[in-house]
Amino acid sequence: MHTHLDIAAGNGTADAGNAPAALPSRLPRHVAIIMDGNGRWAQRRGKPRSFGHRAGQKAVRATVEFCLREGIPALTLFAFSSENWRRPADEIGVLMELFLRALDREVKTLHKNNVRLRFIGDLDAFQPRLRDRMRQGEALTAGNTALALNIAVGYGGRWDIAQAARALAEEVKAGRLEPSQVDEAAVHARTALSDLPAPDLFIRTGGEQRISNFLLWQCAYSELYFTDVLWPDVDAALLREACDDYARRERRFGLTSAQVAS
Ligand code: IPE
Ligand code: IPE
Ligand code: MG
């Protein structure tokens, strides 16, 4: 069972939490998931895409429960990308309504289960009432320790790196930082989720084998797991399979196999 302290152990390392010291753990400390395939799931049933988004919520609950049960301390879910803003307005409308209602419905339960909820992404683009609900959910659960649940909304990996660069530029301009101090650790500290270990296991459902601008900085050494299963069909058995697959892999972080074994 991992504790809150295990999460803290990955903090602030100069190599962005990818230290070989993390190797003995067979259970991922952080799982990141691209929840893809809702639209196709619905279309296969002759239903509108929104039906698939609605059905996907059950898989989110199952995934959170799985992490709590297994003692996986951090979970990051890609719910809406910066590029998804370019989808048809009616689909975006449905998604925003679902987010709002899910927040109202689930936050209390998450809090009861000691889950810390956080949103990453460019929240400025969201309606104020939705943004307020997100902030309220974060504030209520801020002290929780069983699971760090991060929802990526309006998120893009390039946005994340660009906003870190902007923050650094501001600090240099203000005279608080020298350009020579802009190193990997400095960038890392200003990207999303810098207080968590980097994702050990990166799952994408829905059959595509691409990253689609999810956590670019954070996934430098993540183990990738792709499955054709569509997001609404995801259950504990699928997650178990992904974790078992992860446990069998040898993570080398650039070292030789012999070095890793010693
Ligand atoms: C993922 O499912 C959810 C979001 C991107 C919001 P999709 O909506 O991308 O479903 P497919 O990939 O079209 O089947
Ligand atoms: C990635 O899925 C984003 C989310 C799941 C939130 P997309 O469906 O947007 O990705 P592409 O367009 O197939 O690359
Ligand atoms: Mg998709």
**Residue 25 pLDDT:** 59
Is residue 6 annotated as part of the catalytic site, yes or no?
no
Give the model confidence (pLDDT) of 56-107 as tens digits: 999 999 999 999 999 999 999 999 999 999 999 999 999 999 999 999 999 9
pTM of the model: 0.91
Residue nearest to atom 9 of ligand 2 (CA): 84
The arithmetic mean of pLDDT across residues 150-162, rounded, is 98
pLDDT higher at 240 or 6: 240
Instruction: Tell how far the Cα of 39 is from the centroid of ligand 2, in angstroms.
Output: 11
How much distance in Å is there from the Cα of 86 to the middle of ligand 1?
13
pLDDT band at residue 6 under the 50/70/90 scheme: very low
* pLDDT for residue 19: 47
Decide: 172 and 178 in contact? Cβ < 8 Å: yes
Could you tell which of 33, 35, 40, 50 is best to mutate to test the pocket of ligand 1, judged by most ligand atoms within 8 Å of the CB? Answer: 40
Domain 16-155+198-206+224-247 falls under CATH 3.40.1180.10 = yes
Residue 44: burial class (beta carbons within 10 Å; 0-12, 13-18, 19+):
exposed
Ligand (nearest to CA of 56)? 1
Q: Residue holding tokens 């002759």?
A: 46
Which residue type does 28 have?
P
If you measure from the C-alpha of residue 36 to the centroid of ligand 2, how many angstroms do you get, rounded to a whole number?
A: 6
Instruction: Indicate the domain borders of the chain.
Output: 16-155+198-206+224-247
Q: Which pLDDT score, from 0 to 100, does residue 80 have?
A: 98
- Among 25-29, 35-39, 117-121, the minimum mean pLDDT is found in 25-29
Q: What is the pLDDT of residue 12?
A: 37
Catalytic residue among 6, 15, 84, 213: 84
Q: Where are the beta strands (DSSP E) in the chain?
A: 30-34, 74-81, 115-120, 147-155, 201-204, 223-226
β-pairing, 147-155 vs 115-120, is parallel
Q: For 164, what's the count of Cα atoms within 13 Å in the CB-facing half-sphere?
A: 23
For residue 81 and ligand 2, the question of a CB distance below 6 A is answered with: yes
3-state secondary structure of 202: strand
Mean pLDDT of 114-132: 97
Sheet bearing 74-81, strands edge to edge: 115-120, 147-155, 74-81, 30-34, 201-204, 223-226
Q: Looking at the predicted structure, is the pLDDT value of residue 209 above 70?
A: yes
The mean predicted confidence, pLDDT, of the chain is 92
